[in-house]
Amino acid sequence: MSMAAVETKKITLRTADNHEFEVEEAIAMEFSTIKTFFDENPDASEDTIPLPNVTSKCLSAIIEYCKSHLAFRARETSSSIDEQVRTYDEEFVKARDNESLKELILAANYLNIKALLDMLNQAVADRIKNKSVEYVRRFFGLENDYTPEEEAAIRAENEWAFEGVDPDDD
Amino acid sequence: MWSTLPFDVLAKIFSFLSPDSLACARSACRQWHTCARTYPSTLPQHHQAWFLALPTRNRGQCCYVHNPVVDKWHMLSLDFLPDPIRPVASIGTLILVRPTNCTILQLALCNPFTRQFKYLPMLNITRTNPAVGVVILEPGQPGPNPDFRVYVAGGMSEAPRGGATYEATLEMYDSVDDAWHIMGFMPVEFAVRLTVWTPNESVYSDGVLYWMTSARAYSVMGFHLGSHTWRELSVPMADRLEFAALLWRNGRLTLVGGTCGEDACIWELTEGDGWGLIEKVPIELGIKFLGGKRSWGSTKCVGSEGAICLYREFGSGMVVWREIEEKVRWEWFWVEGCHFIRDKQVQNLQIKGSGNSIVS
Q: If we measure between CA atoms, which residue out of B269, B222, B265, B221 comes closest to residue B243?
A: B265
pLDDT of residue A123: 92
Closest chain A residue to the Cα of B12, Cα to Cα? A121
A145:B29 CB<8 A: yes
Please state, for a pLDDT cut of 70, what percent of chain B lies above it: 89
For A65, A99, A141, A143, B31, the CA distances from B2, given in Å and listed in that order, are 23, 8, 7, 10, 10
**pLDDT beyond 60 at B287:** yes
Q: Determine the pLDDT at residue A170.
A: 45
Model confidence at B359: pLDDT above 60: no
User: Residue B95: helix, strand or coil by DSSP?
Assistant: strand
Bin B163: left if φ > 0, else alpha if -120 < ψ < 50, else beta.
Answer: left
Are residues B28 and A129, on separate chains, in Cβ contact within 8 Å?
Answer: no
The predicted pLDDT at position A80 comes to 85
Please tell me the predicted confidence (pLDDT) of residue B137.
82
A161 to chain B: which residues are within 8 Å by CB?
19-21, 23-24, 74
> What CA–CA distance (Å, rounded) separates B209 from B230?
10
Q: Nearest C-alpha of chain B: how many angstroms from A24?
A: 25
Mean pLDDT score across all residues of chain B? 84
**B16, A141: Cβ pair inside 8 Å?**
no
Closest CA to B198 of B249, B244, B148: B244
Number of H helices, E strands in chain B: 5, 28
Question: Which tens digit of pLDDT belongs to each residue from A8-36?
Answer: 788 899 999 999 999 998 999 999 999 98
Among A77, A100, A120, A140, pick the best mutation site for testing chain B contact (most B Cβ within 10 A). A140
**Tell me: the pLDDT tens digits for A67-109?**
999 999 888 888 888 889 999 999 999 988 888 999 999 999 9
Tell me if B24 and A118 make a contact (CB, 8 A cut-off).
no
Q: Determine the Cα–Cα distance for residues B258 and B278; give it in Å rounded to an integer.
A: 14
Q: What is the pLDDT of residues B7-25, one digit of tens each?
A: 888 988 988 988 899 999 9
Contact B146, B136 (CB under 8 A): yes
Q: Give the residue on A whose Cα is nearest the Cα of B328.
A: A79
What pLDDT score does A166 carry? 67
Q: Is the ipTM of this complex over 0.90?
A: no
pTM (2 d.p.): 0.83
The reply to whether B72 touches chain A by the CB within 8 Å rule is: yes
B355, amino acid identity = G
Least confident of B227-231, B251-255, B344-348: B344-348
B85-134 pLDDT per residue, tens: 888 888 877 888 888 888 889 999 988 888 889 999 999 999 988 999 99
Distance (Å) from the C-alpha of residue B112 to the closest C-alpha of chain A? 10
Task: Give one DSSP letter per residue of B1-31, joined into a string.
Answer: -GGG--HHHHHHHHTTS-HHHHHHHHTT-HH
Q: What is the mean pLDDT of residues B327-332?
A: 85
Is residue B216 over pLDDT 60? yes
Interchain CB contact of A167 with B (< 8 Å): no
CATH numbers and ranges of domains, chain B: 40-356 (2.120.10.80)
Could you tell me which chain A residue has the CA closest to the CA of B113?
A158
Residue A167 pLDDT: 67
Residue whose C-alpha is closest to residue B235's, from B252, B251, B199, B211: B211
B192 at A interface, C-beta within 8 A? no
